[in-house]
Structure formats: structure tokens, C-alpha cells
Amino acid sequence: MYTEQSMKSLFVLGRQPILGIAELESLLGADHVAPFDGFALSDIPAQDIPFDRLGGSVKVCDVIDTQVSADWRVLEKTLLRVVPERAQQLAEGKLHLGLSVYGVNVGLKDVQATALRLKKAIRAKTDQTVRVAPNNELALSTAQVLHNKLVSAQGIEIVLVQHGTNVHVAQTVREQDINAYARRDQNRPKRDARVGMLPPKLAQMIINLAAGKSGSGKQLTVLDPFCGTGVILQEAALMGHDVYGSDLEARMIEYSAANLEWLNETHKLPKIEATLQTGDATKHRWDEHFDFVACEGYLGQPFSGFPSEAKLREVTHTCNQIAKGFLKNIAEQMPAGTRLCVALPAWQRSNGRFEHLKLLDQLDELGYNRIDLKHVRTEELLYYRPDQVVARELLVITRK
């Protein structure tokens, strides 16, 4: 059994940490993940984490030390001991230093003063100039980390996270590249707001939940039966998988093909093995091999406010029929044990409760088992913003 002192890596999770935890558990295994309060620890070294494929983690850090005191004077002594040694491993030239503090009861001025003392100690140890990234808040934002080059060969961001009586001291190894996400989302040649805009981070999470541990380090074939403009196909290709997409509209297949070609040209990928077909997911026969299914189903129409009860019944019935028809159809075409993650709609009421599709209570008779996660309840797998009516519910299942 692991202890916090034996943990090797620390994750700072994203806006919806529950989804980040589920993603880590699926990819790394439940026994290798210890989540807490928007963070997670792992006994897997940070350098061995396939971070580029994680949509739900903002950063991964190498745990340097774990203190049983949250007294800032004690923590500063630890930093003055370990950080200059770490700085000696950086490349020659001007160094960049940043501090991010989560949960520790300390004032911003004290953090800023400690950063200046660290700057002086690093300069004495390395004889290199050091620039400190200014803290406007206790924790630096992702944009600040990237702008100040804190994850470059000449940069070092030290992260302190309190959990109970322990404070974990860690060095950031990788930071989520928000600019790369924006380019993949906004610069691809074919986009269509009418069919919805699936965020690349969510696409990554869907793929990882669908693939499970088998998706790490192996080249598999991902099937998306509702591929739209190809966001899931793009992210799967970047992970090194072959991709297989189908859609009801021929125009969407053309868009996916154009976007995959653009991805190949801009990212210099190895040859992408892509199969694209036009077909209704409730009737189509997928005649090529696939290993798992990752998709966003039909979400119904968007709403700026909660619909009338009559309208809600109409929309939920339509969405339920399409999703149920799809699951029935594809069940006959997969071997037992095939894993799926399907994003389905759920509707958020003003009281915060959600309306779900009825098929969630019929999975057994449809031929599926819902996958239970150790650290997250299945009903918590919802991707949404507080002001959104239509949420995405991530259904993770296997063919019986």
C-alpha cells in the first residue's frame, strides 16, 4: 500500500477535477492514483506519464519532498535546501523561477519574499542570472507558466500543495499547452458550430476513458460513429492510434478528411491510417476492424434556458431513441469486452439536478456493463459549465 511520502508525481487537475481523476484512473490504473481536493498523486514517475494525451490535468510535477509541517518558515528552509540543487541541473543561460502555492496558509508577500531569497541562493549556487515570475496570486496561471518559460530547459516552477498535515513540494515537469489546443481547435480548416464544438481536451478524456490502460503505448484503432468534423479522430491520431470514423452526413466525412489532412501536414505525423464512411449509426455496418469506441452522440438542440417540460420530453425521447438504436446496432458487431465511452446529453435544471436519458437504466438488456471506477461515481462523469443547460454525460461501458 502506498503512502503519501512514497508518491513520485503530482497532478494539478483541470476545471472539472472529477473527470481528470477518472481519466487518470482509466489510463494509469486505480491503484496508481491517489486523488484529493483537485489534485492527484501517483507512484509513477512524472517523466513516465503520457502527459500530452491528458485532457483533464493542467500540470504534472516531480515530487521532491513531503513535509509534515505547513509552517511557511519550515517550508522556506526546505525550498532553500532543494531548489538550488535542482537549478544546477538546468541549461546554461538566464534562468527562470516561479512559485505556485495551493492550500498553504501563507500571505502573498511572504511567497514573493521567499522567491527572492531563492533567486539569491540559486545565483550563488549556479553563478547564473535568475528572473522570478511575479506572483499576482499564490498560484501562477498556466499562461504565466508558459509565458515565463518555467517548463523550458532553463526554467523551474516549484509547486507546494497542502493535503491535511502534509505539504508536497514538487517541480513542474509538463504544463498543459493551451496555445496548442487553441490552434488545433481554431485553425483547422473545417469547423461547423451547427453540429457542436467538441473541445479537444474533452475529446482526449473520452478517448482515454474508452481505451483504458490498453490505450497507453499501443497503436489501436479508434472508432467514432458520430465523427462530425473529426475532433476525436484528430486527438486519437495525435496519440498514435489509427482512426475509423462514420457520420450520417457526407459533408461531415469531407470535413473530417480535410481536418485529418491538415493535422498530418501541420504536425508532421507518421502516416495516419484513417477509414471514413458515410452511415447512420443506428443502422450502419462497420466492416473494418476497431479496438474501442469513443464518440459524442447526438446531443439534441442547444438551449439558452431550460425548456418547457413538453419540449424536454420531446428532445429527450429523440436523443434516447438515437443513442439506444446505436448501442443496439453496434452491440452485434463487437466482441465481448470491447470498451466504449459515449458522450450523451443530460439537461441541468435550475436547482442543479440533471435529467438523464432513460437508456442508462436499460444497459443490461442492451448488452452492456457499466464500468465502475474506484475514485469516481459514474453519475459524476458530467462535463458542463454552471450556466449550461445541456451537459455531456460520459457513459463508460463494455460489451457483455
CATH number of the domain residue 241 falls in = 3.40.50.150
* DSSP per residue, 179-221: HHHHHHHHSSS---GGG----HHHHHHHHHHHHGGGGSS---E
Asked if residue 113 and residue 20 are part of one domain, the reply reads yes
Cell 496570486 belongs to 137
Q: Examine the pLDDT at 2 and tell me if it is beyond 60.
A: no
pLDDT in the model for residue 376? 97
pLDDT in the model for residue 196? 66
Asked if residue 355 and residue 263 are part of one domain, the reply reads yes
Asked if residue 189 and residue 113 are part of one domain, the reply reads no
Residue pair 298/237 in contact (Cβ under 8 Å)? The answer is no
Asked if residue 155 and residue 297 are part of one domain, the reply reads no
Q: Examine the pLDDT at 328 and tell me if it is beyond 50.
A: yes
CATH number reported for the structural domain that contains residue 97 in this entry: 3.30.2130.30
Q: Examine the pLDDT at 350 and tell me if it is beyond 90.
A: no
How confident is the model over 152-163, as a mean pLDDT?
Answer: 97
pLDDT in the model for residue 22? 98
Determine the Cα–Cα distance for residues 5 and 242; give it in Å rounded to an integer.
40
At 375 the three-state DSSP class reads: coil
Q: Which amino acid is at 168?
A: H
How confident is the model over 317-334, as a mean pLDDT?
Answer: 98
Asked if residue 248 and residue 137 are part of one domain, the reply reads no
Number of domains in the chain: 2
Asked if residue 183 and residue 48 are part of one domain, the reply reads no
Give the tens place of pLDDT for each residue, 218-268.
Answer: 789 999 999 999 999 999 999 999 999 999 999 999 999 999 999 999 998
pLDDT in the model for residue 202? 98
How confident is the model over 44-50, as a mean pLDDT?
Answer: 96
pLDDT in the model for residue 1? 45
Quick one: what percent of the chain has pLDDT higher than 70? 98
Asked if residue 69 and residue 42 are part of one domain, the reply reads yes
Asked if residue 255 and residue 203 are part of one domain, the reply reads yes
How confident is the model over 261-280, as a mean pLDDT?
Answer: 90
Asked if residue 319 and residue 238 are part of one domain, the reply reads yes
Asked if residue 366 and residue 281 are part of one domain, the reply reads yes
pLDDT in the model for residue 214? 73
- Asked which of 143, 176, 209 is the last residue of a domain, the reply is 176
How confident is the model over 55-63, as a mean pLDDT?
Answer: 98
Asked if residue 342 and residue 251 are part of one domain, the reply reads yes
pLDDT in the model for residue 273? 83
Asked if residue 234 and residue 113 are part of one domain, the reply reads no
Q: Examine the pLDDT at 194 and tell me if it is beyond 50.
A: yes
- Asked which of 136, 156, 176 is the last residue of a domain, the reply is 176
- Asked which of 176, 198, 214 is the last residue of a domain, the reply is 176
Give me 219's grid cell: 497503436
Q: Residue 341: name the closest of 281, 283, 398, 286 by CA.
A: 398
Query: Domain range spanning residue 168?
Result: 4-176
Q: Is the dihedral of CA 35, 361, 299, 315 positive or negative?
A: negative
Residue pair 224/293 in contact (Cβ under 8 Å)? The answer is yes
Higher pLDDT, 195 or 282: 282
Q: Examine the pLDDT at 77 and tell me if it is beyond 60.
A: yes
Determine the Cα–Cα distance for residues 158 and 99; give it in Å rounded to an integer.
5
